Amino acid sequence: MTQRFRLNTYSLQDFTLNVLNGNSLGIIIALIPAALTSQLLTFFGQHPWVTTVTMMTNVAQSMLPIIAAFAVGAFLRLGTLESAAIALASIVSGGVVHSNSNGLYTLAGSGAILNVMLVTYLSAGLVLLLQDKLGQLKLIFLPTIVLLIGGSIGLVTLPWMLNIQGFIGSLVASATHFSPLPMGIILGMAFAALIVSPLSSVGIATAINLAGVGAGAANAGIVAGALTLAWMSATVNPIGGTIAHVIGSPKIQMANLLKKPLLFIPVILAAGITGGVATLAHIQGTPFSAGFGASGLIGPLTAWQVSGHAGLLWRISLTYLAVPVLTAWLMTVIFVKKTHLITPATDLKIPL
């Protein structure tokens, strides 16, 4: 039988990393279906099956708090009961449940990721504290206790987490006051850092209504940062995990970057260069595309739709292919092969 995680047998760091890894994986699982299909569906018009697929992927996104909770439970080697208790607290306070004027509750959006992480962290700790103390009454009391305590704390912290995200968004928005080239560099770096943080790059881009060349630079920066992480870690991760960095989300590396902040340096360097090039190439985007990167080809396809068409194919190829590949290769040479500041086997391995 697999040994279960016990509160007194692992360090706080081990517990924290397991929760972070679980959330990272849960985010990818919940968001990647929409990322892969959203732009492709636009080519098929208003067929009924398109509406059905859209419904399915939207619901999947709203399941993020539940999926993240079960992923955390898996990393902590918890049973179904314990994981489900964490999921209850997470879903009610994750920011996906909304009430309307008729008193009905609906699910919408993917929630406040920062609050989901906080609630899964606290609820998992509560589960570990209680799992050996309730005896044969665990089935009756554990879900209720974790729901009421973890969920209540999460409902209290939810507005604060949203305010933190709003504050970060206002800082990012200040970059739009610079001249185009510095703006592109800063936005590329900022969004590459955001996409691998507990914050929502999509939520921030939408909140500040980032559009035009600023959105293009932010999106291109994410692509470069994602490809850099994928390239540096390609030797230690399976092909599916490597590809998921780019067409899914580089947030799959969140726990590794928070564990070793040095990893942010090659990511933001590559992103800054690419964001600057995107601005010079007049690549544009929308508030929706800015925070996605290459997920589902949202960035390149949006750039094709909203940017000026003079030489657009070459500009998109330069911004989304040539420069990200070049910077990813360069960062790998500098940080992995020459200076050995980054060791992929220990720093970039993703727990799939």
Within 8 A by CB and 6+ apart from 287, the residues are 205, 206, 208, 209, 210, 211, 215
Task: Report the pLDDT value the prediction gives residue 186, as an integer from 0 to 100.
Answer: 96
Task: Report the pLDDT value the prediction gives residue 1, as an integer from 0 to 100.
Answer: 41
Question: Which of 119, 144, 166 is where one domain is finished?
Answer: 166
Structural domain of 78? 12-166
Same domain, 25 and 151: yes
Same domain, 319 and 186: yes
Task: Report the pLDDT value the prediction gives residue 306, as an integer from 0 to 100.
Answer: 86
Same domain, 284 and 203: yes
**Has residue 172 been placed in a domain?**
no
**Has residue 4 been placed in a domain?**
no
Same domain, 161 and 182: no
Residue 38 confidence (pLDDT) above 80: no
Question: Which of 166, 196, 219 is where one domain is finished?
Answer: 166
pLDDT band, very low/low/confident/very high, at 297 (cuts 50, 70, 90): confident
Residue 4 confidence (pLDDT) above 60: no
**225-234 per-position pLDDT tens digit:** 999 999 999 9
Same domain, 196 and 322: yes
Task: Report the pLDDT value the prediction gives residue 5, as an integer from 0 to 100.
Answer: 58
Same domain, 161 and 189: no
Mean pLDDT of the chain: 90
Cβ atoms within 10 Å of 329's Cβ, excluding its own:
15
Same domain, 123 and 182: no
∠ Cα 251 25 79 (to 5°): 155
**Has residue 5 been placed in a domain?**
no
Same domain, 196 and 300: yes
Mean pLDDT of 52-76: 94
**Has residue 312 been placed in a domain?**
yes
Same domain, 58 and 199: no
**232-250 per-position pLDDT tens digit:** 999 999 998 899 898 878 9
Closest CA to 128 of 82, 69, 72, 75: 82
Same domain, 333 and 197: yes
Q: Does residue 201 or residue 56 have the better pLDDT? A: 56
Domain total in the chain: 2
In angstroms, rounded to a whole number, what is the distance separating the alpha carbons of residues 131 and 171?
42
Task: Report the pLDDT value the prediction gives residue 101, as an integer from 0 to 100.
Answer: 78
**71-107 per-position pLDDT tens digit:** 999 999 999 999 999 999 999 999 999 888 788 888 8
**Has residue 352 been placed in a domain?**
no
**Has residue 173 been placed in a domain?**
no
Task: Report the pLDDT value the prediction gives residue 19, as an integer from 0 to 100.
Answer: 93
Question: Which of 98, 131, 166 is where one domain is finished?
Answer: 166
